[in-house]
Amino acid sequence: MSKGNVGVLLSGRGSNFASIVRASRAGGANFAVRLAVSDQADAAGLKKASRFGIPAHFVDPKRFPDKAAYERRICELLEREAIDLVCLAGYMRLVGPVLLGRYGGRILNIHPALLPSFPGLDSQRQALRHGVKISGCTVHFVDAGTDTGPIVAQQAVAVRAEDSEESLSRRILRQEHRLYPRAISLFFSGRLQIRGRTVIIRE
Ligand code: GRF
């Protein structure tokens, strides 16, 4: 079976990246992770990639005249590895027109809330402050907005009265690690179709 090629963009810890790699190495997986790229030199995710034997690149945005040039460099790396799907995993930048132009409809992101609630930063804190009883995580296609693209999959997580930001984040993260590989697998199954805001999943 030929496998889909995944490239991951990350800025930090890289626990989602690691869960995606582990899932890709389990029997029967329909994708392989070929590349990790970070905008942060000290991202722990880059070290994880090296330990997995996956090519890992730091691309310093400061070394480029503008975002377009920075993203062109990222596109070069993605194209070199024949990447089919770009997965953002804790990538702390908005995707610009260059990446969207070349990989539109082929970029996923994971967000630690049930979108469209609590987009942007500190979603778990936002959820606790709002007093919701259920939060969770969302995998969505990326568009030009912040966490606004068509939703592929969501997993609910109950909020407990005694939850702190840390405890809620930990339980949501555990679900992120299951949801993201499942969404990637669905993408490569060819059963996803984006119709307007809606992602149709064919049986
Ligand atoms: C995750 O909570 C993800 O949902 C959000 O950023 C965090 C990244 O964590 N977008 P990690 O780097 O994957 O451990």
Closest by alpha carbon to 74, among 43, 107, 105, 51? 107
Confidence of residue 25 (pLDDT cuts 50, 70, 90): very high
> Residue 80 to residues 55, 74, 155: CA-CA distances in angstroms?
11, 10, 34
* Predicted confidence (pLDDT) per residue in 79-134, tens digit: 999 999 999 999 999 999 999 999 999 999 999 999 999 999 999 999 999 999 99
Radius of gyration over every alpha carbon of the chain, rounded to an integer in angstroms = 16
* Predicted confidence (pLDDT) per residue in 122-173, tens digit: 999 999 999 999 999 999 999 999 999 999 999 999 999 999 999 999 999 9
CA-nearest residue for atom 6, ligand 1, is 90
Tell me which residues have their CB closer than 6 angstroms to ligand 1.
10, 12-17, 45, 89-90, 110-112, 173, 176
Query: Cα(48) to centroid of ligand 1, in Å?
Result: 14
Query: Cα(123) to centroid of ligand 1, in Å?
Result: 11
pTM value is 0.97
Q: Which atom of ligand 1 is nearest to the CA of 137?
A: 4
